[in-house]
Amino acid sequence: MTMIGVIDYGMGNLYSVSKALERLGCPYIVSGDKEELARVRGLILPGVGSFRDAMHILRETGLADFIRSEVQDGTPLLGICLGMQLLFDESEENGPTEGLGLLRGRVVRFPGVTNDGEPYKVPHMGWNRLRFHRSSPLLDGVEEGYVYFVHSYYVVPGEEEVVLASSEYDVDVPAVVGRDNVFGTQFHPEKSGAVGMSILNRYVGIVTGRENG
């Protein structure tokens, strides 16, 4: 049985995620077909681009309801970059847009100006250090190293306990989130060297544990 399903809805970094799974020796499929994805043991929701466009596609294709149903049934889910933001209640990007609502919180744009009135670059693009806050099977054995971010929006969580790790870019940026079988990384683990690959490998381990359990 295929272990991981990478959800293809036309807006994801499919190639880099697929290659990372290959490097980990993890069987996977890339698909937007709900029947195919229903047969896997864990899901990855990648994402690059607009929150509103992504949610429109997910709703129109039925993938939004499918993802919610799979999570309710206990299937592990990992959102990456925009995919992590989609896990939350809503985003202000291009006007208020409802998200998947799997985690409480909203997505807002970096102000681009510090409290002292100094401008800074948006999007946030580059390597920043993680700070771990809570234990999680996604972070077991992972070190607080540097990971690669590319984003103009960040999550303001409704519940602080979902923030497993953060990074700083003028504001405190939730970098790794998780609750129960739902996880997310604001950065790209597949492009983040040893630290990112360790986190992705931990997710594969979570899925494997479910398969063997």
Candidates 26, 124, 151, 190; catalytic one:
190
> Phi first, then psi: what are they for 164, rounded to 5°?
-90, -30
| Residue 26 annotated to the active site | no
Which is it for strands 153-157 and 105-109: parallel, antiparallel or unpaired? antiparallel
Q: Is 190 a catalytic residue?
A: yes
For 149-169, b where at least 16 C-beta lie within 10 A, e where not — what string?
A: bbbebbbebeeeebbbbbbeb
**Active-site annotation holder among 81, 93, 124, 151:** 81
Q: Among all residues, which ones are annotated catalytic? A: 81, 188, 190
